[in-house]
A = this chain, B = another copy of it.
Amino acid sequence: MSVKVNLEEQFARFFDTWSPKIIADLDDYQIKLTRLAGDFPWHTHGDADEMFFIVEGNLRLEFRDGVQTLGPGELIVIPKGVEHRPVANEGEVKVLLIEHKDVVNTGDGPVSAHTKAAERLS
């Protein structure tokens, strides 16, 4: 038997932002939770699509050719190779992420202070 995961219970276990936490594995993919506040550098994941599902708050996703603003109950897949910048400028945003386990949060650019390996909430 596998065991369910309650998103609110898991969000209550961490409070740092831009630091994804792994809550489950799906084949070679990871299901992660993250809190976002403020903005993040422009980046691209050359080899991997990335899904954002908004649990709480509003997230602005900037692309070079437009903007999408997502609220709770909305998701988006950012295709591989598409440059993007997440901006949480209306308060904190709680996000469920799904992406391949080898994805680095800051994408293909240089490692920076924003680069963080996802930790496992176990």
Contacts and interface: CB of A to CB of B under 8 A. Distances in A.
Interface of A: 1-8, 24-27, 29, 31, 48-51, 53, 55, 61, 63-70, 73-80, 82, 96, 98-100
A74 B64 CA distance: 34
Count chain B CB atoms within 10 A of each CB in A67, A75, A76 and give the residue with the most: A75
Contact of A51 (B24, B49, B69, B76): B24
B68 A31 contact: no
A52 to B, nearest CB: 9
A20 to B, nearest CB: 16
B63 A51 contact: no
23 contacts: A1-B65, A1-B82, A2-B68, A2-B77, A2-B79, A2-B82, A4-B69, A4-B74, A4-B75, A5-B74, A5-B75, A6-B74, A7-B73, A7-B74, A7-B75, A24-B76, A25-B49, A26-B29, A26-B99, A29-B29, A31-B77, A53-B96, A55-B73
Contacts of A78: 2
